[in-house]
Amino acid sequence: MESFARFKVEAIHGEKFQTRNELGFEVFDYIERFYDKRRKHSTLECLSPNLYEGRYLEAFCA
């Protein structure tokens, strides 16, 4: 996902959601489809988001 503005245009604008749950599902679905969980990020110590989260949880739960 390039930006929150792009997300709003592609997933939210023009849509009518009956409940907050519907909106939440749409947000979750959009992120799961378009967010690259494997690309390395410099802000995450050059790790992918999935790997960074796994290491964080290991350290946090230990």
- Listing DSSP states for 36-54 in one string gives -SSS-BGGGTTB-HHHHHH
| pLDDT (0 to 100) of residue 54 | 93
Summary count for the chain: helices (H), strands (E): 3, 0
- With bands split at pLDDT 50, 70 and 90, how would you rate the model's confidence at 2? low
Residue written as token pair 């230990």: 62
Convert the pLDDT of each residue in 36-54 to its tens digit.
Answer: 777 888 888 888 888 999 9
For tokens 């050059």, the residue is 46
19 pLDDT more than 90:
yes
- Cβ neighbourhood burial of 61 (10 Å; 0-12, 13-18, 19+): exposed
User: Is the model more confident about 46 or about 32?
Assistant: 46
